Amino acid sequence: MNTDGLPELTDIGIKCFLESAPLYSKKSFKLPPEPREDLRINEIDSFCEICEQKRPFHDSTLRSDRVAGAKAALMAFQQLRTGKAGFSFTCVSCKKSNRIYLLEQTVDDETITIQKYGQLPRAGIPRDKTLQKFFKEDRDNYEKAVICLSYEYGVAAFAYFRRIVENNINRLLDLLQEDLQSSGGDQETFTAIQSLRDESPMSEKIKIANLALPGHLKPDGLNPLGKLYQVLSEGVHNLPEEECLKKAKAASECLAFLVSELASRKEHRARFKSSISQL
């Protein structure tokens, strides 16, 4: 395997993988210059359901009187080589909540690829509450998209997010025009957004979308609306799995940003008007 661009295997890299990698996902690393005997790490961070907050979780096999160099009972190998590894962690506060992970690793001369194939308790699938509300008429597709994204099924996730964007793009344009009217936006921007509803080639819509947002909805010049129209223009048939996954994540982020920004501005305006009317 070409090691160009691969991160070096470190405790931090293993920690991040255990904490956030979806089940069955893989990640490759360059082997470190200093040989290590196993993948074990001493600590992760996780939300403790008993403490009801994020807490450090320590290796359950750690003991103050442990003989130096002793190996954890869950580790299924004695050297960093192809095989399997188990990890068990316990919340440092309540001493009751546990996290267990199972990894499989493939090692060659220069790299190691690890895959998470087991996790207890099962990780929850994150859902954006603002998007859930916005997609209440399209909830089935949104649920499928989120599930596919969480398991890194790139082609499926991208296909579902394309369908979601296509089904809801006019509702998003409604929110944009309502925001422009309430904030006194210029007529040129308003007309540009209106023209996105017209029947025209997608290439033309992408150009218009890249000009149709006010500055406060383009952080550092990035245009989420243009990205969404670009998603609509691209099929999934000839794209590799990883590329589809990237595009699905981008579509999700663009939707979350636009909907949450517009919804919060609407809420703040309503709260302000209500407060002023009582003076």
Is the pLDDT at 54 greater than 80, yes or no?
yes
Domain-located, residue 4: no
Q: Please say if the pLDDT value at position 18 is more than 90.
A: yes
Residue 253 sits in the same domain as residue 142: yes
Q: Look up the pTM and report it.
A: 0.64
Q: Is the pLDDT of residue 60 over 90?
A: no
pLDDT of residue 29: 94
- Residue 274, pLDDT score: 78
- Judgement on whether residues 93 and 179 belong to the same structural domain of the protein: no
Average pLDDT over residues 249-261: 91
Give me the residues paired with residue 87 across strands. 101
d(CA 62, CA 52): 24
Same domain, 94 and 215: no
What amino acid occupies position 77? Answer: F
Are the beta carbons of 210 and 226 closer than 8 angstroms?
A: yes
With 70 as the cut, is the pLDDT of residue 68 above it? no
- Average pLDDT over every residue of 107-114: 91
**Looking at residues 233-256, what average pLDDT do you find?**
88
Residue 123: predicted pLDDT: 76
81 with 203, same domain: the answer is no
75/105 same-domain check:
yes
179 in a structural domain: yes
Q: Is residue 1 part of a domain?
A: no
More confident residue, 83 or 70: 83
For residues 26 and 106, membership in a common domain is answered with yes
In this structure, the answer to whether residues 32 and 72 fall within a common structural domain is yes
Which of residues 100, 120, 140 is at a domain's end? 120
Is pLDDT larger for residue 216 or for residue 56? 56
Q: Which of 120, 145, 167 is the last residue of a domain?
A: 120
Distances (CA, A) of 263 to 94, 130, 143, 170: 39, 8, 21, 16
Instruction: Tell whether 3 is covered by a domain.
Output: no
Structure confidence at residue 1 as a pLDDT band (50, 70, 90):
low
Asked, for residue 56, whether it belongs to a domain, the answer is: yes
Residue 184 has pLDDT above 80, yes or no: no
Q: Are 39 and 158 within one domain?
A: no
Alpha helices in the chain (DSSP H): 11-20, 129-134, 139-150, 154-183, 187-195, 202-209, 224-233, 241-277
Q: Which residue has the higher pLDDT, 100 or 65?
A: 100
Final residue before a domain boundary, out of 75, 102, 120: 120
Q: Is residue 6 part of a domain?
A: no
Q: In the chain, what is the straight-line distance between the N-terminal and C-terminal CA atoms, in Å?
A: 69
In a domain, 242, yes or no: yes
pLDDT (average), residues 1-10: 83
142 in the same domain as 109: no
Q: Concatenate the DSSP letters of all residues of 118-134 into one string.
A: EEESPPP----HHHHHH
> Is residue 183 in some structural domain?
yes
Residues 145 and 264 in one domain: yes
221 & 107 share domain: no
Residue 124's CB is within 10 A of a number of other CB atoms, namely: 8
Q: What percent of the chain has pLDDT over 90?
A: 40
Domain count, the chain: 2
Q: Which domain holds residue 75?
A: 11-120
Dihedrals φ, ψ of 242, to 5°?
-65, -40
Q: What mean pLDDT comes out for the span 92-113?
A: 93
Q: Are residues 91 and 173 in the same domain?
A: no
